[in-house]
Amino acid sequence: MLQHYRPHKRALQRETFGLPSFDALAQILPEYQHFFKTGGTQNKLPSAPAPAEDAGTREVIEHQTKELENYRTAMTKMADDIIDLRTQMVALESENSQLCSELSQHQDLRRTLLDETDIDVMTKTEIVDRIVALKDKLASETTKTVTQKDKIHQLQNELIRKMDGEKELLQLTQAHQQLQAELQSHLGRMASLEVTLLQQEKVIEKMEKVLNMNLMDRNKHYGDRRKMNKKHKDKVDGVKREIESALAVENSRLREELERMRQQPPQVIVQPSIQAPESYPVKEKLHILAQLQRAESRIRMLEAQLEENSRCWGKEKQSMLTRLSEHDYGFAQTSTMILHDLPQKDIQI
């Protein structure tokens, strides 16, 4: 174990117990005090040494550092060995003191036994027999003591085993109690979960009923809306047909009147001054011209109204088609939706 440190000058002085001397560290450390003394001289080296000297000094320093580290590890191991030896010494001293105490007890016992009898009266054979008897008694007492010690050790071991078993039993009891508590908590949680599941099932059933009712109401509402839209569309178509028929009748009448006026002789209209004033009076001419102007204005107004109604009807038709397509695809409109590019008021017919 102490192969790393090798003193150069002299061997270490050892005591009777195989321990190093008290000044072992003082004998080793002074040999390497130059490592610490050369530190001040190294600081006084020139600032720019030669490269060869730097390499040499660096190698020397590294070698010395490694050697110092080796000695430090060796000293650490020595210190550990010293501590181990001291502990062994303490144990041996305690054992020695115990043996000394036992020896003194045996000597005291022998002395008391010898004191009980008168040695002067006893013969040599009696003394020898007495000593043999005492030795036998001592051996028997020693065996009894050994057996008692063994029994004590057995009882101690049994007590330790019982205590360990009791500890294990306590641990098992605690673990069982914890498992019981966890089981109770799980059972309570299971009961609460069952109640929650029942409540959720009831809520789901109610929601399904409400959803079915809403679907039925929505389908009914959409059916009514379809019927209303169809009726409105039929009504708009009827009104449009009536307007178209009325306009067609009015246009045909006005065209017939214009054709009739155009088929009259031109001298009657263009040269009224040549005819006699009694045949076509001025009042009738003015009446006819005013009627013609009214008819033309009426025609223009009806055409404009027809164009406006056609435009509104086209927008309404496109809106209806859009709503129907949205309803078919599931994009139902709500009351809060705003439709752009659609008329915001009723159609004036």
Stretches where the chain sits below pLDDT 70 are 1-54, 106, 109-122, 262, 264-281, 330-349
Angle of helix 51-116 relative to helix 124-263, nearest 10 degrees, comes to 130
141-165 exposure pattern, b = at least 16 Cβ within 10 A, e = fewer: eeeeeeeeeeeeeeeeeeeeeeeee
Report how far Cα 11 is from the mean position of its chain's Cα atoms: 68
The burial class, CB within 10 Å (0-12 / 13-18 / 19+), for 78 is buried
Amino acid (one-letter) located at 312 = C
The burial class, CB within 10 Å (0-12 / 13-18 / 19+), for 225 is middle
13: tokens are: 């002085």
Per 3-state DSSP, the chain is made up of helix, strand and coil in percentages (nearest 5) of: 80, 0, 20
As a whole number of Å, the CA-based R_g of the chain is: 67
Angle of helix 124-263 relative to helix 282-329, nearest 10 degrees, comes to 160
Rounded distance, CA 171 to CA 176, Å?
8
Rounded distance, CA 20 to CA 14, Å?
4
**108-160: per-residue pLDDT in tens?**
766 665 565 555 666 778 778 878 888 888 888 889 888 888 888 888 888 88
State residue 84's pLDDT score: 82
State residue 165's pLDDT score: 81
State residue 212's pLDDT score: 87
Rounded distance, CA 98 to CA 82, Å?
24
25: tokens are: 């560290």
Taking alpha carbons only, the member of 60, 81, 106 closest to residue 4 is 81
The position carrying tokens 């490269």 is 51
